[in-house]
Structure 1
Amino acid sequence: MDKLKRVLNGNEEDEDKGIVTQISDASTLSWSTRIKLFAVCFILGATLSILGSCLLFLRNGFTIFGILYTLGNLLSLASTCFLMGPMSQLKKMFAKTRIIATLLVLLLLVLTLVCAFAIKNGALTIVCCVLQFLALTWYSLSYIPYARDVVKKCFASCME
């Protein structure tokens, strides 16, 4: 429809732009819109995680917990795409310093859902959620300069 409008108006210079440039131009959001979408996505993710935790003690609560907790974490993780953009987020996620943490987080997200849906083992789902939390914490610490080193030193001093 937009192409038809451009042709009818005699404004065809967008034809020379590549598809990536056209998509980028069409999806550019203002900073305030990005902040609002980040907040909505993050709050919705946190709410799903908390709701899953509250429903943990219901019948089949382990499955519901695993699903809601994982979906909440996915939404919270995706919310940062609004702040820095999806391509920048992917580049940072798979940077050399955090590739292992990213792969571990993704693996545990999938394993939690497999344990909840396919295996239907509540205890294993809970274990995967705890590991998922730890992996997300380690991943998040990678964005704070020297935070991982501080955590390593704290645990090392506790083990002495």
Structure 2
Amino acid sequence: MSNDPGLFHLSRMERLMAFGACFGIGLVLSIIGTILIFSGHMAAFAVCYSLGNVISLFGMGFLVGFKKQFKMATAPVRLTAFVIYIVLLVMTFVVAFAFDIAVLCLIFAICQYCALAWYSASYIPYGRKMIKSTCGACAKAI
């Protein structure tokens, strides 16, 4: 956790609580979005699911500081994954609102989740390597 109080000048406990709140709200929105997909409301799904992911990611800013988080997100090791995640986020909204194609919206949401997982794994030592080996083992099992 960064010692930089960042934009909000919060104490360590307040920052942890803000992170927890963002993570919890993001999780609830993503779950609601997932439930909405079964009701056929693609636009509501796209908004809830994507907004849930963004709020969860935003919560990390309370832990490390928003400026540092942006610097880390745009570091060469993460930049491609970050850009792909943002593009997939936008495409999920475009497909849901402009085209209302349920299958394509679901595909973009799944790809969005995978891009976010790949981006997040870059923060964990050997995280991407673990994902690659797990996917390789699953592919061999099939």
TM-score category (smaller protein): 0.7 to 0.9
Distance 2:43 2:6 in 1: 42
Cα distance between partner residues in 2 of 1:89 and 1:149: 22
Matched, 1:92 2:72: yes
Q: Specify the alignment match of 2:135 in structure 1.
A: 155
Say if 2:98 is the partner of 1:118: yes
- 5+ unaligned residues in a row in structure 1: which ranges? 1-23
Task: Provide the identity percentage.
Answer: 38
Taking structure 1 as reference, are residues 30 and 126 closer, same or farther at Cα in structure 2, changes over 3 Å only? same
Compute the displacement of 1:65 (Å). Answer: 1.2
Q: 1:40 to 1:152 in 2, by over 3 A?
A: same
Checking the alignment, whether the CA contact within 8 Å between 1:141 and 1:147 is kept in structure 2 is yes
- Match for 1:86: what amino acid? F
Give the structure-1-normalised TM-score.
0.78
TM-score normalized with structure 2 length: 0.88
Residue 41 of structure 1 is aligned with which of 19, 22, 30? 22
CA distance in 2, matches of 1:77, 1:92: 13
Count of residue correspondences: 136
Counterpart among 111, 124, 134 of residue 114 in structure 2? 134
3-state SS of 2:9 partner: coil
Whose relative contact order is higher, 1 or 2, with alpha carbons under 8 Å and at least 6 apart?
2
Q: Which runs of 5+ in 2 are unaligned?
A: none
Give the distance between the partners of 2:27 and 2:134, measured in 1 at CA: 28
Distance in 1 separating the partners of 2:92 and 2:6: 37
Residue type of the partner of 1:144?
I
Amino acid across the alignment from 1:140: S
Partner of 2:89: 109
Deviating beyond 2 angstroms after TM superposition, the runs of 4 or more aligned structure 1 residues are 24-27, 153-160
* Paired position in structure 1 for 2:51: 71
Given that 1:35 and 1:82 are in contact with CA atoms closer than 8 Å, whether structure 2 keeps it comes out as yes
